[in-house]
Amino acid sequence: MPDIVIAFFALGLLAGWVKSDLKVPQSIYETLSILLMLTLGVKGGMALHGHSASINLGALALIASLGVLTPLALYPLLTQVIKLKQADAISIAAHYGSVSAGTFAVVIAMADHLGWQLAPETTLYLVLLELPAIIIMLWLHRWLLARAANDRKQGDSKQYKDTAQISNGSIWHEALTSRGVVLLLGGVIIGWAYGPQGLADITPVLLGGFKTLLALFLLEMGLSTAKVCRPLPWQHWRLMLFAAIAPFVLSWLGIGVGLLLGLPAGSILVLATLSASGSYIAAPAAIKAAIPEANIGLAMLAALGITFPINVLIGLPLYHSWIQALIHG
């Protein structure tokens, strides 16, 4: 049987498809997401407590580079094969170069359930992979606008200047001060500084209730997924096909890097799953602010409507079996 939290996602998905009146109030969802991100950060920080000296900064830099290389590699595919407009191709590449915090929570729970070892710095993978893709693709958008304006030598230069101002003034701020990053990094720092003993008073409530928080969060994700996918826009069949296939290809980037770095099995599973995921929280907010002409609905359809359920329902068991076969033969 799959982990119990997956059943709650399936329940939400079913309820959404049959148009049930079941819904998670927005205020409850906001609270759940805050607690979930904070709990993940604290768990990661507690794992780092007393192990800071053993962190391999070179390995973390290589992992972070996936967030730069992945979207740059996807962009020409999205423009030439998937036939997306420039703004939408940049948007989708940024979403798939970035990662899913919800998927991260699920794979962490799965690794714990399997008893697979996690490196102390595993929580940092989420932060390292969430930001670079968004930033590099917004800068690519600026560069493409500048080149187009230079070629035409006319009014597009004003559009470029406006976009450049938005990018310079807000890209880094949006990326580094987003709720997820603040909660994750803050939780990591608190967990690292206080350790298990210092956090003993809140551990039973915050960490003991992790799976309950995740189950309720996934119930809402199931409802949201059904809403995004109803009805399916079949005119975008190329993008939907990409969203269905990409996780199984991108997961091998994480597996390859994990094996190259000699990471423990649990960390390889986390890295593979993150590589296979698409952002539906951080990236939409940043892209919508900086590239208003991009269709965020397409990104949500792909990342949340298709890739997220594929990863949760099919991908995770498959990545687990691949890694197990590679490590244990």
Each domain of the chain, given as residue ranges in start order, spans: 4-14+23-328
Confidence (pTM): 0.80
The pLDDT of residue 155 is above 80: no
pLDDT tens profile 96-130: 999 988 899 899 999 998 999 999 889 889 878 88
Mean pLDDT over residues 9-23, rounded? 90
> CA 37 to CA 40: how far, in whole Å?
5
- pLDDT score at 180: 66
- pLDDT score at 167: 46
Q: Are 36 and 213 in contact (CB under 8 A)?
A: yes
Distances (CA, A) of 64 to 97, 255, 260, 316, 329: 10, 14, 14, 22, 29
pLDDT tens profile 218-274: 898 889 888 888 888 889 999 999 999 999 999 999 999 999 999 999 999 999 999
Return the H-helix or E-strand segment holding 263. Answer: none
**What percent of the chain shows pLDDT beyond 90?**
39
Rounded to the nearest integer, the mean pLDDT of the chain is 85
Q: What SS3 string covers 39-81?
A: HHHHHHHHHHCCCHHHCCHHHHHHHHHHHHHHHHHHHHHHHHC
Q: How confident is the model at residue 95 (pLDDT cuts 50, 70, 90)?
A: very high
**What percent of the chain shows pLDDT beyond 70?**
88
- pLDDT score at 164: 47
Say if residue 1 is exposed, middle or buried (CB neighbours under 10 Å; 0-12, 13-18, 19+).
Answer: exposed
- pLDDT score at 204: 84
- pLDDT score at 306: 93
- pLDDT score at 42: 86
Mean pLDDT over residues 30-45, rounded? 83
CATH number of 4-14+23-328: 1.20.1530
The token duo for 115 is: 């008893």
- pLDDT score at 325: 94
In this structure, of 162-171, 172-181, 227-236, 294-303, the range with the lowest mean pLDDT score is: 162-171
In this structure, of 47-61, 63-77, 133-147, 155-169, the range with the lowest mean pLDDT score is: 155-169
Distances (CA, A) of 187 to 39, 45, 239, 240, 302: 7, 7, 36, 35, 30
